[in-house]
Homo-oligomer: A and B are copies of this chain.
Amino acid sequence: MKIGIIGAGQLGQMLAQAGISLGMQFSFLDPTKDACAASLGKHFCIAYDDKEALAKLAKQVDVVTFEFENVPSETVAFLSDLVPVYPHADSLKIARDRWLEKNLFKSLDIPTPLFANIESQKDLEEAIMAIGFPAVLKTRTLGYDGKGQKKLKTTNDIINAYAALGNVPCILEHFVNSGEVSLIAVRNQQQQIKFYPLSQNKHQQGILRLSVASEQHPLQPLAESYVSRVLERLDYIGVLAFEFFEVADGLMANEIAPRVHNSGHWTIEGSITSQFENHLRAIANFPLGSTNNRGYSAMINFIGSIPSANQLLAIENCHLHNYSKAFRTGRKVGHATLNSSSMDRLELLIAQVQGLINE
């Protein structure tokens, strides 16, 4: 089976690594010349609006999917007319726009922080009255890793805030000061759904640093109920990641990502079937694989650089994933997965890896 992937970064790379075993061949659409997944297939190094090349790509593959959601809608629509695209264009459209996304949650009775649509500085000034401080102003589209957002703590922070984000449509949200958990789910064309255990995520400067797979988290059933509603409403096909704030009385929806997700990277070694393989199984119309844990697992991101492989691989059960990207401050260049048969031991291993990180 021939798979087209929009984007050829590390997520595309890990999808291809999983898919090779299923006998799949890959084509990547990515305008970046040295995209790290490109060597694992055919690289269409083209602009998203190059319709002639898009048509050529569509002809050469059986199905198209995404490693990131910030693809122009016209590109998705154009491809969808020529070849099956999973997840569907509609799922993508909602997931990439915080306003549509939050309204979807609301319509499905999934709690969210208070939010408002902001299309001017005046909108912002009015909305903050209802939502209160602290709040976060976020661009409706194209934000990631803490980019495209601004925290508002006092009236002073509001001044010029809308312009500071580029005078583009935004959403204002009440700031929730709590831990984050994410649920990775997958749904295939036979409407079979599987969930991974919740990941507990720690960020620094808006970038994910650590995900720890939970074992029988008390909020797992609630998270699965919320995510099921979204999957079914969207007739969703593929892996979906759903980020939640863990609050006193349960979970509040933060956002969804219509793709494999950084907080699910521990599934490569930590689950019977990784999120990458299950995404491919879903879009290829295969039965889904088990999402059960293999012991206790955690994932540590390497941002900017990767510690010495010699030191990392000397750590018990440490698996290195080096994306072969040039080191650059703030850039995700790799991760490590850790596994153990006890949570106490896992925490020791996490500390060992963290001790090697020198940012």
> A: which residues have CB within 8 A of B?
13, 17, 20-23, 25, 39-41, 272-273, 281, 285-287, 289-290, 294-295, 306, 309-310, 313-314, 316-317, 319-324, 334, 339
Q: Are B320 and A22 in contact (CB under 8 A)?
A: yes
Decide: B272 and A309 in contact? CB cutoff 8 A: no
Main secondary structure, interface of A, reads loop
- Out of B23, B40, B295, which one reaches A322, CB within 8 Å? B23
Q: Is the CB of A309 within 8 A of B286?
A: yes
Indicate which residue in B39, B286, B287, B310 contacts A41 across the interface (CB closer than 8 Å): B39
Q: Check B316 against A287 for contact (C-beta < 8 Å).
A: no
> Given the interface contacts A41-B39, A272-B339, A310-B286, does A23 sit within 8 Å of B324 by beta carbon?
yes
What's the nearest-Cβ distance from chain B to residue A285, in Å? 8
Q: Of B287, B294, B295, B310, which is within 8 A of A313 by CB?
A: B287
Closest to A286 in B: B313
Residues of B within 8 A of A273 (CB): 319
A309 / chain B contacts, CB cutoff of 8 Å: 22-23, 286
Contacts A41-B39, A310-B287; is A317 near B21 (CB within 8 Å)? no
Of the A-B pairs whose beta carbons lie under 8 Å apart in the complex, a sample of 28, sorted by A's number, is A17-B17, A17-B20, A17-B21, A20-B40, A21-B320, A21-B321, A22-B309, A22-B320, A23-B306, A23-B309, A23-B322, A23-B324, A25-B39, A25-B324, A39-B40, A272-B317, A272-B339, A281-B313, A286-B309, A286-B310, A286-B313, A287-B313, A287-B314, A289-B313, A289-B317, A290-B317, A294-B294, A294-B295
- Please tell me which one of the listed residues B20, B39, B306, B317 contacts residue A13 in the complex, with CB atoms under 8 A apart: B20
User: How far does the alpha carbon of A285 sit from the alpha carbon of B314 in the complex, in Å?
Assistant: 11
6 smallest beta-carbon distances between A and B, as pairs = A23-B322, A287-B314, A21-B321, A286-B313, A287-B313, A23-B324
Copies in the complex: 2
A260 vs chain B, min Cβ distance (A):
15
Most-contacted residue by chain B among A23, A281, A309, A317 (CB, 10 A) = A23
Bound-state CA distance A310–B189 (Å) is 12
Chain B contacts of A319 at CB under 8 A?
21, 273, 289
Q: What 20 additional pairs, Cβ within 8 angstroms, besides A17-B17, A23-B324?
A: A17-B20, A21-B319, A21-B320, A21-B322, A22-B309, A22-B320, A22-B322, A23-B306, A23-B309, A23-B320, A23-B323, A39-B41, A272-B317, A272-B339, A287-B310, A287-B314, A289-B317, A289-B319, A290-B317, A294-B295
What residue of chain B has the Cβ atom nearest to residue A321's Cβ? B21
Which B residues are CB-close (under 8 A) to A272? 317, 339
Chain B residue with Cβ nearest A316: B290
Contact status A23-B287, CB under 8 Å = no
Q: How far is the CB of A64 from chain B (nearest CB, A)?
A: 19
Q: How far is the CB of A312 from chain B (nearest CB, A)?
A: 9
Closest-CB distance, A187 to chain B (whole angstroms):
16
B residues in contact with A13, CB < 8 Å: 20
Distance of A294 Cα from B293 Cα, bound (Å) = 11
Query: Nearest chain B CB to A305's CB is how many angstroms away?
Result: 12
